[in-house]
Each structure stands twice: as C-alpha cells, then as structure tokens.
C-alpha cells in the first residue's frame, strides 16, 4: 500500500468522526411562550386571548441551531424538560434513538393516567400521545439542524419532495368580535355568528390567501344553523370543497341527518360523532366520507377504525402522531387501506407550518388540502412569515426548515408567559367561555 493510500484510509474515518462530532447535540433550549389567539368558538367554549406553545432549540457541537415547535401546556413542558436534559451527546441522525430516549426519560405527567384520560378536541390524551407530541417537536429541531449542517432541506432528509406546493384550506370559525370582558386585543375580523358572517369570513380568506376549499368548525350552534351556514358557503362558492367539523358534538342520528342535508356539497364530514363505534354507524349509513382527528390519532387506534370502515379520511398531525417520519408511516398505512389523508391543525406558528409543509411535500397520497390555523395567528417567532399564494405554500428548498428564529419576538412572547398569572399557560376554552357566561361547562356529548 502506498503512503498516499494509507493516509486516505486514516483520514476518511477521522473526517467522518469530526463530522459526526459536529452533528452531535451540545445544548438544548426550551422556551415556553404565549401567543395571541382570537376569540374562536368551538363546542368546548372559546379560545383564550393567549395560548401556549413551546419552542425547542437544539445547538450542535458544530454550532448549528435547529428549531422545533409543539404544544406548550404544562403537561408538555413537564415531559420536554427531562428529554432536553438527556439529549446532549445525541447524534442528529439518531431519530429512532430519540423516541427510545423519550420513552426512558419522560415519566407520564402527574395529571394524566398512563392509559386514557378525558377526551378533548384532539381525541383521547394518553401518556404515550403526550410524549409523542413532545418527541415530534424535538425531531423537527434535529432535522432542521441536520438539514442546515448538510445544506439540505428537511424534505430531502425525508426522502424528497413529490410536489413543489402544498395546498391549504381556509379554516373558518364562528367567532366573537372580542374576547369576553374586553381581554386581549380586538382584531379587524369582527364577529361571525351566522351564515352571513361565515360567508364574509370565507370571502376574506379567499381574497387574502386564495384558499379554494373551506372548513367550518362546528358544534357551536344547533346543527340546523350550521347546515344553513354550509349551504350559504355552497351558494357563495359553487363547486368548492366544503367540510364541517363539530368535534364529535352530535349523536349518530343528528350526524346522519346533517349528512343527508349536505350530501351534495360536503367534501367530507369531520368527527360528527365521538368514538369509533359511532363513526362506524354513521359511515355505514351515509355516502358522505367521514374524516377524523379525534378517533384515529395514534397507531393503535387504526386497526379497529379501518377494519370497521369508520373513517374514510385521517387528518394527520405530526405533533401528536410523533413527528414527520411517523406522519409518513401513517400515510403508508392509509395508502395500504385505501383511506384518504389530510392534515389537521391546531393553533401553531411558522416553525410548525414549515414542518407540516415539508412532510406534506413528501407524501404522495396527500389527497386533500391541509388545515391550518396560521392566518389566525398574528404573532410569530420566525423572521419571515409564510405567505399563501392561491391557497398554497411553496415548498422551501433552503437548508433545514428554511425558517429563521426571530429572537426578539421569542423573548417578548416568553416574557408574556413569565408574566402570566397561570390562567393561560394551559389551554382552557371552557374557562374562557365562563368570562361571558359564568355558568358555562364543557357540554356533555352528544350535545345535539
């Protein structure tokens, strides 16, 4: 062996070791924040003026910072802290190891039983699901850092994009003009409490962002009023895909009546009734496709729902499914069973929207425009907000997620979290509603 060959043999592993060391996590920063949220109504109540999010930063030994975002309520922070403490020394590429590490270090939060706690707007909250929601924020931060250190966009790390644009849908809400008792800042949207208000809101969404499909958050008013609102949308936007989502507030009978009334205009009906059994009953008796982000929210829930034909569309959400790769796995299962795929959204900022867009770009069977709350969020922690054109976002080819943290904005929103007296650090739509109606309780289901 010549001198040059032997040098190459020792240099290559050395270069690899150096690259690997540079791609190792050196520090993790967790920043809980409170962001402004408008008075949007749902079947539980109304959004509070501020809502929590958690921003995760991982800094590598090579000095690269990756960012992630997830839910910021106390029970998520309690899980994120031990994972952040255990992460230094972890390789960015070891995403499988991240899940294993989280399973080891994240004890179930005190207020959630290891099995199943009360249902919410996003289905049951198991300890596993809470942990996965935290893991997903870290996975996104690791992928962002890895992409930045390699000069590759996150979609390339996920196998490559199959589309250059991702379509989003207008997320319409019944809403108040202002938060009860004058809390928070009023905005320019005004109230939307009837079909005219809903159509005016939809028009503004269509004119400003170009959205071509519309979802109305229902379960707020008696079903016949919500049917009238969907009818008004159908008349104002003929032929456009329409969806209605009462978050499981209806009985099987009511769900079937709404399905009959709106069969000619609905793209799908989302979680009309709570639980796989009820969804299966409704699905068996209507041709309107049923979508869910409530009864199929984890892998163990898939088998029963799919074999019973309870859902025709799953709304994936990388936060609670456990990350971007888990979303791809879910997509593969849906493809296998001929079940459609769309994307759910909860109040989120630009980091999560970037993550959603990257993974959505890699999924061949993304059959529907994705939900997003983003237009309702006027604050952000990234320097350049995302802009929708013709209802879609262009898929970024910049390294990582393609977003840059706005440190000043992050610090200000964190200060708001520090200053909060504890009332908004945990989302509580029923408590917010009690400011307007002191007797309000989260309604029992079925509500209608």
User: Closest CB to ligand GKR among 293 and 352?
Assistant: 293
Determine the angle formed by the axes of helices 324-337 and 350-362, rounding to 10 degrees: 40
Return the one option of Mg ion, ligand GKR, none that residue 357 interacts with (CB less than 5 to 8 A, by type).
none
Q: Which is nearer to ligand GKR, 126 or 346 (CB)?
A: 346
Range in contact with Mg ion (rule: CB under 5 A) among 4-12, 180-188, 245-253, 298-306 = 245-253
- In the complex with ligand GKR, which residue's Cβ is closer, 144 or 167? 167
For residues 143 and 294, which CB has a smaller minimum distance to ligand GKR in the complex?
A: 294
Query: Nearest-CA neighbor of 206 among 391, 58, 18?
Result: 391
Is residue 345 part of the contact set for Mg ion (CB under 5 A)? no
DSSP string of 113-172?
-SS---EEBTEE--HHHHHHHHHHHHHHHHHHHHHHHHT-BHHHHTT--S-SEEEB-EEE
Q: Which is nearer to Mg ion, 17 or 430 (CB)?
A: 430
Other C-beta atoms lying within 10 Å of the C-beta of residue 293: 25
Cα–Cα distance for residue pair 91/108, rounded to 1 Å: 25
- The distance of closest approach from Cβ of residue 311 to Mg ion in the complex, given in angstroms and rounded to an integer, is 12
348 is catalytic: no
CA 137, CA 57: separation in Å to the nearest integer?
A: 9
Smallest gap, in angstroms, from Cβ of residue 277 to Mg ion?
18
Neighbouring residues of 443: CB distance < 8 A, sequence distance ≥ 6: 43, 44, 249
**Closest distance to Mg ion from the beta carbon of 291 (Å):** 8
Distance CA 438, CA 419 (A): 25
Q: Say which entry of ligand GKR, Mg ion, none residue 145 contacts (CB below 5 to 8 A, set by partner kind).
A: none
- Least Cβ distance, residue 40 to ligand GKR (angstroms): 6
d(CA 281, CA 443): 22
346 binds, among Mg ion, ligand GKR, none (CB under 5 to 8 A by kind): ligand GKR
- In 3D space, the residue among 311, 277, 314, 346 whose CA is nearest the CA of residue 136 turns out to be 346
Least spacing, CB of residue 44 vs Mg ion, in Å: 12
Does 270 sit behind a cis peptide bond, omega within 30 degrees of 0 on the bond before it?
A: no
Report which secondary-structure segment, H or E, holds 243. strand 242-245
Residue 245 binding Mg ion, by CB under 5 A? yes
217 given a catalytic annotation:
yes
Which residues sit at the interface with ligand GKR, rule CB under 6 A? 40, 42, 121-122, 217, 245, 247, 293, 344-347
- Smaller CB distance to ligand GKR: residue 84 or 121? 121
- Least gap, CB of 90 to ligand GKR (angstroms): 31
* C-alpha separations of 52 from 141, 207, 445 in Å: 18, 30, 26
Q: Which does 217 bind (CB under 5 to 8 A by kind): ligand GKR, Mg ion, none?
A: ligand GKR
> Which of 64, 201, 293, 357 lies at the binding interface for Mg ion (CB under 5 A)?
293
| 258 within 8 A of 223, measured Cβ to Cβ | yes
What three-state secondary structure class fits 174? Answer: coil
C-alpha–C-alpha distance, residues 345 and 317, integer Å: 7
Kind and range of the H or E element at 282?
helix 276-284
Q: Which of 44, 148, 215, 217 is catalytic?
A: 217
Q: Which is nearer to ligand GKR, 348 or 358 (CB)?
A: 348
List the catalytic residue out of 344, 358, 373, 386: 344
Task: Report the alpha-carbon distance of residue 219 to residue 231 in Å, rounded.
Answer: 16
CA 211 to CA 108: how far, in whole Å? 40
CB of 243 to Mg ion, least distance (A): 9
Mind telling me the catalytic residues?
217, 344
Q: Which residues in this chain contact Mg ion in the complex, by CB under 5 A?
A: 245, 270, 293
């Amino acid at each position: 062996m010549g001198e040059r060959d032997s040098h190459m043999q020792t240099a290559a592993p050395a270069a690899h070791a150096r690259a690997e060391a540079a791609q190792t996590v050196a520090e993790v920063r967790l920043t809980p924040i409170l962001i402004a949220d408008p008075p949007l109504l749902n079947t539980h109540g109304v959004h509070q003026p501020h809502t929590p999010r958690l921003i995760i930063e991982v800094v590598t030994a090579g000095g690269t910072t990756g960012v992630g975002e997830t839910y910021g309520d106390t029970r998520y922070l309690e899980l994120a802290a031990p994972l952040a403490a255990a992460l230094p020394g972890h390789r960015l590429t070891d995403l499988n190891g991240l899940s294993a590490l989280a399973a080891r270090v994240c004890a179930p939060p005190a207020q959630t039983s290891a099995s199943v706690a009360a249902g919410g707007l996003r289905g049951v909250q198991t300890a596993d699901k809470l942990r996965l929601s935290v893991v997903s924020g870290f996975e996104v931060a690791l992928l962002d850092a890895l992409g930045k250190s390699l000069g590759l966009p996150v979609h390339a790390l996920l196998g490559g994009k199959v589309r250059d644009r991702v379509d989003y849908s207008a997320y319409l809400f019944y809403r108040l003009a202002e938060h009860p008792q004058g809390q928070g800042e009023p905005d320019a949207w005004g109230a939307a409490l009837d079909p005219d208000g809903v159509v005016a809101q939809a028009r503004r969404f269509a004119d400003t962002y170009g959205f071509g499909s519309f979802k109305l958050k229902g379960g707020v008013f008696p079903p016949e009023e919500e049917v009238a609102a969907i009818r008004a949308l159908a008349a104002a936007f003929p032929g456009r895909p329409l969806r209605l989502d009462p978050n499981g507030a209806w009985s099987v009978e009511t769900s079937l009546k709404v399905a009959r009334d709106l069969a000619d205009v609905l793209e799908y009906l989302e979680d009309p009734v709570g639980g796989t059994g009820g969804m299966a009953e409704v699905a068996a008796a209507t041709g309107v496709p049923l979508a869910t982000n409530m009864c199929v929210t984890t892998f163990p829930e898939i088998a029963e729902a799919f074999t019973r034909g309870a859902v025709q569309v799953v709304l994936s959400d990388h936060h609670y499914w456990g990350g971007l790769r888990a979303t791809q796995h879910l997509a593969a299962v849906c493809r296998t069973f001929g079940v459609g795929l769309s994307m759910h959204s909860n109040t989120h900022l630009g980091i999560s929207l970037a993550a959603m867009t990257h993974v959505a770009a890699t999924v061949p069977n993304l059959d529907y425009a994705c939900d997003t709350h983003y237009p309702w969020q006027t604050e952000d922690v990234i320097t350049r907000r995302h802009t929708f054109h013709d209802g879609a976002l262009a898929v970024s080819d910049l390294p990582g997620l393609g977003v840059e943290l706005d440190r000043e904005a992050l610090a200000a929103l964190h200060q708001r979290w520090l200053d909060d007296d504890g009332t908004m650090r945990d989302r509580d739509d029923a408590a917010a509603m009690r400011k307007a109606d002191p007797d309000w309780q989260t309604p029992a289901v079925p509500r209608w």
